[in-house]
Structure formats: C-alpha cells, structure tokens
Amino acid sequence: MAQHYDITKYPQKKFRRIESAFEKKFESGVQKVKNSLRFIQLKDERVKEHPNDTAFETSRMLNNERERFEIHFDEKRKTITKIYLVK
C-alpha cells in the first residue's frame, strides 16, 4: 500500500510551484486534463474521497527523482481539493 502525503503540509517552495502548476492545468478545463497523456484518470472507486471526486495520477521531477502525485478534483465545485505525493 502506497503512502500518501498531502503536499499542503510541506512549506518548501518547490511544492508550491508544483501546486500552482497543477491548478493552472486544471483551469483550462478538466476535459483537457482527462484527454492529456501526462495525467491518468484513476477509475477505481476506492480512491474517491467524496461522490463528486475525480482522481488523477501524474509524475513530476522533484529533487532529481521522478515522483508520483495524485490529484483529487471536485467536479461540482470545479476545484482541486487535494494533491498527494505518493511514495
């Protein structure tokens, strides 16, 4: 089982840059993100945190290593609710 770390708990600037980059991607619309090759929509219902939740997985370079991130998007409010670093 993978560990999920909420990136809002970390004060480093690199996490704020990653967070703002994800928010910028989702501003153009979740449909573009769903069709993107960099974001994989997780279809498993167990990853949902609430009924309107859509979860995506992606990876980014962080400290010269490729790290996985899980992004939870609220379809009704049209906002990102959580971003997790997955280890």
**What DSSP letter does each residue of 6-51 carry, written as one string?**
EGGG---HHHHHHHHHHHHHHHT-HHHHHT-SS-EEE--GGG-SST
Give the Cα separation of 59 and 38 in Å (integer): 8
Give the domain range for residue 38: 4-86
pLDDT band at 78 (very low <50, low <70, confident <90, very high): very high
| Tokens encoding 61 | 């370079």
Domain count, the chain: 1
Instruction: Answer yes or no: are the C-beta atoms of 21 and 38 closer than 8 Å.
Output: no
Give the Cα separation of 78 and 65 in Å (integer): 30
Q: What is the pLDDT of residue 29?
A: 87
pLDDT digits 0-9 by tens, 24-75:
999 988 999 999 999 999 999 999 999 999 999 999 999 899 999 999 999 9
